[in-house]
Structure 1
Amino acid sequence: MAMFGRRTTFGTKQPSFSELKETMRPTPDADGVTRVFSKELWDDPKIGKFLREVGFAPDDARNILPTAQDYIALFAAAKKRLDERTEAFNREMTTRYGYCRAAPFLVIDHTIWDGEHGAFLYAQMNLIGYDDWNVLMLAADVRTKELCDIAGHPGTVPAVTEVMTKRVIDWKQRHDLALEAFGVTAMGGQGITREQYEAEQDTLRREIVDNVGWMKPRIISELLRVQG
């Protein structure tokens, strides 16, 4: 996640845009904790005072960033929930149709989550790809497709991956602009408030979830058309 307060000396003049970007690095503080606003910012009379005025504190939960181990545990728990939902889906469909072997399909797929833009989705948008919003249950074999009347699992769909990658890049750019504007404010300039930044985060998150929801029936329709 992009951060503020990394290896920069704060003077009395307003930092340039390039200097501001230099402060936005995910580096732990001396105590080993990575913070949105680093410890050194709180020691700056102007910036520390401003941050307290807008309601922040150095060790607030929202100012402490999860570690890699935290995310590993988060993903593992989400994957376990998905496995349980898949088993439940197959049990229910087997009860109804006599047989079902379905498997989850991720609309925003693994290549995106594991790639250079994945951290934007999970660290900045608080989204996990294994959760329901991003999952379709599709037939893992021909018998399931025919008996249960659901589209066959294609493995991956390069066209969907391409479309979603472009959209994630666009969403990330919008978030970066909002984060930078908030950073200007945090540094004492004229940008956007914390409330405005968090509102933009919420808007982007809803847009991502809604867009994936919009994609789901279209993916199914296209798979059924191609598979016949």
Structure 2
Amino acid sequence: MFGRRTTFGTNQQSFAEFKETMRPAPDADGVTRVFPKELWDDPKIGKFLREVGFAPDDARNILPTADDYIALFAAAKQRLDQRTEAFNRDMTTRYGYCRAVPFLVIDHTIWDGEHGAFLYAQMNLIGYDDWNVLMLAADVRTKEACELAGHPGTVPAVTEVMTRRVIEWKRRHDAALEAFGITATGGRGITRERYEAEQDALRREIVDNVGWMKPRIISELLRIQA
């Protein structure tokens, strides 16, 4: 499907070229849009986008800026710090001592790498949120008193597994986006509703998969550290 050519009036444009017009660059008014304003002036694409319920200034068509993401991550990190403090207070009350620290199942090397933008921009996921966090012991005393697995730093095997999965999730998302883009350029693809449903299902799958990984990571750490 990639590279299929469709006609806009007297011009032809492939889906690859269409994706290029959806580059993350600001419009003349300084706002970065999923579908740039120039697309809305195209008689075929603009008409199609309006028919499926989009508008140039819809919230879902406005992309966050770098500053928006920085603020988003900072707020999420602050919430994580607060949850960590609350966890340690509660566990100290119960066991007399606790110094636990967060462990990210999808770790910072993935979030900061080439696939991180897929997770936070396309999937609207933040790595500091509960779905991706385990609380693990920062020292031996906590491990013994609270019966927590010790924090290993990074676990290359987990990073490798999760990297492969993120790459596959991104591939599936890109395929759905391509199919929707083909529809947007006048071909036979999928509807906006179908694309959004597939996007939501993929997001749930990512969260569920990380949840499935958590007890297995803990079990393996406890086995190794016994």
Q: What interval of TM-score do these two structures reach, taking the shorter chain for normalisation? A: over 0.9
Match of 2:118 in 1: 120
In structure 2, the residue corresponding to 1:152 is in which secondary structure?
coil
Match of 2:14 in 1: 16
TM-score by length of 1: 0.93
Letter in 2 for 1:110: H
C-alpha spacing 1:127/1:110, structure 2 compared with 1 (3 Å):
same
Structure 2 CA distance, aligned partners of 1:11 and 1:176? 27
TM-score by length of 2: 0.94
Gaps of at least 5 residues in structure 1 are: 1-8
Match of 1:37 in 2: 35
Match of 1:161 in 2: 159
Residues 196-227 of structure 1: per-residue CA shift (max 9 Å, x gap): 00001001000000000000000000000000
Match of 2:46 in 1: 48
Structure 2 CA distance, aligned partners of 1:121 and 1:24? 18
Letter in 2 for 1:206: R
Identity of aligned residues (%): 89
Match of 1:85 in 2: 83
Structure 1 CA distance, aligned partners of 2:127 and 2:116? 10
Structure 2 CA distance, aligned partners of 1:199 and 1:135? 26
Letter in 2 for 1:60: D
Q: 1:190, CA displacement in angstroms?
A: 1.1
In structure 1, the residue corresponding to 2:16 is in which secondary structure?
helix
My pick for the range that moved more, 28-37 or 18-27, is 18-27
Matches within 5 A, 1:72-151: 72-151=70-149
Letter in 1 for 2:106: I
Structure 1 CA distance, aligned partners of 2:10 and 2:155? 53
Structure 2 CA distance, aligned partners of 1:95 and 1:224? 23
Which stretches of structure 1, 4 residues or longer, exceed 2 Å deviation after superposition? Answer: 9-24
**What number of residue pairs does the alignment pair up?**
220
Match of 2:205 in 1: 207
Q: 1:21, CA displacement in angstroms?
A: 3.7
- Would the aligned equivalents of 2:8 and 2:44 in 1 still touch at CA under 8 Å? no
Structure 1 CA distance, aligned partners of 2:45 and 2:60? 18
Match of 1:57 in 2: 55
